[in-house]
Structure 1
Amino acid sequence: MQLNINGLETRYVLSNEGGGPWLTFIHQLGGDLSVWDQLAGYFRDDYTVLRYDVRGHGHTAVPNQPFSIADLSRDLAALLEALGASHTHLVGMSMGGMIAQQFALDHPSCIDSLTLADTVSSTPPEARAIWDQRAATARREGMSALVPATLSRWLTPDFQKAHPEAVEQIGEVLLRTHTEGFALACEALRDFDVSEDVKRIDKPALAVAGRYDTGTLPAATQALANAIPGCRFELLEAAHLAPVEQSHRFAALLETFLAAGV
């Protein structure tokens, strides 16, 4: 399904078999809505589940100018409004977690709860050059130059060995990501900083990290959890894509958290 959101054709999938409260999932950099397939299937009988491709990713159009995480928050607000959702539980992984934080700050009345996986509240100055390098590599060499190292950060060797089909799908989505969409998103991540603002979030919050995440260190996600009043923190036996690698454990945590917060 497609909608024009802030001038960009945007792909989304809405599963509302259960007709329950809204539950929105936001994917990582270099991903698309398919990363949530399994979890969407788990929750669709009890929730109205929304997934979408962030601008420049999947089947959502690539903008012709730079954008910020605040712009991505506005995209989500416009999508929810177009679909008639006045409020939602929000789950974001990595870049998706940054968008979720920004959205919670920009539209607090639209948030029922916030689940943040493998993410941080800012990119420290010493790490900003990494995002510039990744953007430059994508533009110069294409996405194929980034896939092997990215998958090694995203998923543990044990998971890659046990679930080659899942790794192949995630790798193919990354490979197909539009180079300019990826590069512009890298630059948005480079400049993201809500570290002084997240203490204002007053909704039920859950933060989850992968113990073996080398890209977003678990301590950084825990620091984010500590900054949000009342936020619960959980550590999973996974790398960067903890909700994928530990999908059953993540689903159980999220189910319990949502039930308690409703």
Structure 2
Amino acid sequence: MHTLQARETPAGTRYWRAGHGPSVVLIHGVGLDATIWSAQFATLAERYDVIAYDMLGHGASPRPPSGCTLEDYAAQTCELMDALQIDTAAIVGFSMGGLVARLMALDHPQRCWALVILASVFERSPSQVEGVGERLAQVRAEGPAANVDSAIERWFSPAYRATHPQAIARIRDMVASNDPDGYTVSYALFGSEHNVGRDRLSQIDVPVLVATGDDDPGSTPAMARRLSQRLANAECRILPAMRHMFVMEHPRVATELIADFLTIHHSAHSRGEMQS
């Protein structure tokens, strides 16, 4: 991915694209950018048309508009797909990206043939809501770098932090270099929209994979189980001894998880199209 030239849509969304086959769109988490998917991007591009992009307010994409809602983030995904002439894709969302993926399936169901929701949030407890609110207040007062060190402690295991200092430094710089206004808007939505579409989740009829690490304190196994139970066609995977950023810390596991799920369900999707 790092060897490919990034491009922009007419609306200014920065994205990378590689491969051929069924389309797969990768959506990163809050404070990050598309490059967290580097390992998955390279492998999936061997079988799929893979697109990874920077969400609004992240990387080199535009700031969120005034009065932005999570629907604007889903609209950005649609604009990207329209610009690339993609009718339907598997939407893979990590953390906040999982919220956008859910909204895509709810509000734009014709654009999704499958969903993968990784390390995302659902039905936070009152104490969890309070914790996110405290971190948001710090960000508003001090900027994106305010609580990046505590985030890294939650996201990565002590062993990974000790043995991969360059990767940790890259994530720290990535978060700290966010546009303050864009990051604050995004973090506020990440904090408030954990139940987006909750009462409509049973309407999602595409296959969904919900997965998280069993050592993720923010996107917990209980959240993943509750979310999958609300969905009509979902499977839930809890990954042993993994924290939030398992897409980077355990890239092979994450890639195989995504690839295996997409292989099974695209075959079924293709058979359904042939029969219709």
TM-score normalised by the shorter chain: which range applies? over 0.9
Are 1:248 and 2:259 matched, yes or no? no
Superposition CA RMSD, Å: 1.6
Write the distance in 1 (CA, Å) between the matches of 2:181 and 2:258. Answer: 33
1:199-232 per-residue CA deviation (whole Å, 9 max, x = no partner) reads 1111111111111111121111121112112311
How many angstroms does 1:180 deviate by? 1.2
Task: Please state whether the residue corresponding to 2:10 is helix, strand or coil.
Answer: strand
Give the conservation status (yes or no) of the 8 Å contact 1:147–1:175. Answer: yes
Distance change (3 Å), C-alpha of 1:225 and 1:126: same
Task: Please state whether the residue corresponding to 1:4 is helix, strand or coil.
Answer: coil
Q: Percent identity?
A: 26
Give the conservation status (yes or no) of the 8 Å contact 2:39–2:255. Answer: no
Write the distance in 1 (CA, Å) between the matches of 2:142 and 2:169. Answer: 21
Q: Tell me the equivalent position of 1:224.
A: 227
Write the distance in 2 (CA, Å) between the matches of 1:63 and 1:232. Answer: 33
1:43-100 per-residue CA deviation (whole Å, 9 max, x = no partner) reads 1121111011000011112135231211111111111111100000111000000000
Give the conservation status (yes or no) of the 8 Å contact 1:204–1:230. Answer: yes
Pick which of 36-45 and 186-195 moved more.
Answer: 186-195
How many angstroms does 1:123 deviate by? 4.8
How many angstroms does 1:134 deviate by? 2.7
Give the conservation status (yes or no) of the 8 Å contact 1:123–1:190. Answer: no
Write the distance in 1 (CA, Å) between the matches of 2:95 and 2:213. Answer: 11
Q: Tell me the equivalent position of 1:155.
A: 156
| Runs of 5+ consecutive residues of structure 2 not aligned to the other structure | 1-6, 267-276
Letter in 2 for 1:94: S
- When normalised by structure 2's length, the TM-score is 0.88
Write the distance in 2 (CA, Å) between the matches of 1:63 and 1:73. Answer: 12
Q: Tell me the equivalent position of 1:111.
A: 112
Task: Please state whether the residue corresponding to 1:23 is helix, strand or coil.
Answer: strand
Write the distance in 2 (CA, Å) between the matches of 1:122 and 1:75. Answer: 25
- Aligned pairs, how many? 257
The counterpart of 1:235, out of the listed 238, 241, 244, is 238
Task: Please state whether the residue corresponding to 2:121 is helix, strand or coil.
Answer: coil
How many angstroms does 1:181 deviate by? 1.1
Give the conservation status (yes or no) of the 8 Å contact 1:57–1:178. Answer: yes
Pick which of 204-213 and 58-67 moved more.
Answer: 58-67
1:12-44 per-residue CA deviation (whole Å, 9 max, x = no partner) reads 11113xx11101100000000010011101111
Task: Please state whether the residue corresponding to 1:143 is helix, strand or coil.
Answer: coil
Write the distance in 1 (CA, Å) between the matches of 2:89 and 2:172. Answer: 30
Letter in 1 for 2:168: V
Q: Tell me the equivalent position of 1:200.
A: 203
Distance change (3 Å), C-alpha of 1:125 and 1:195: farther
Matches within 5 A, 1:58-137: 58-123=59-124, 127-137=128-138
Q: Tell me the equivalent position of 1:186.
A: 187
The counterpart of 1:3, out of the listed 2, 9, 33, is 9
Write the distance in 1 (CA, Å) between the matches of 2:235 and 2:192. Answer: 26
1:146-176 per-residue CA deviation (whole Å, 9 max, x = no partner) reads 1101101111112212322222222211111
Give the conservation status (yes or no) of the 8 Å contact 1:112–1:204. Answer: yes
The counterpart of 2:215, out of the listed 187, 195, 212, is 212
Distance change (3 Å), C-alpha of 1:66 and 1:154: farther
Write the distance in 1 (CA, Å) between the matches of 2:42 and 2:165. Answer: 21
Write the distance in 2 (CA, Å) between the matches of 1:134 and 1:100. Answer: 24
Q: Tell me the equivalent position of 1:32.
A: 33
Task: Please state whether the residue corresponding to 1:145 is helix, strand or coil.
Answer: coil
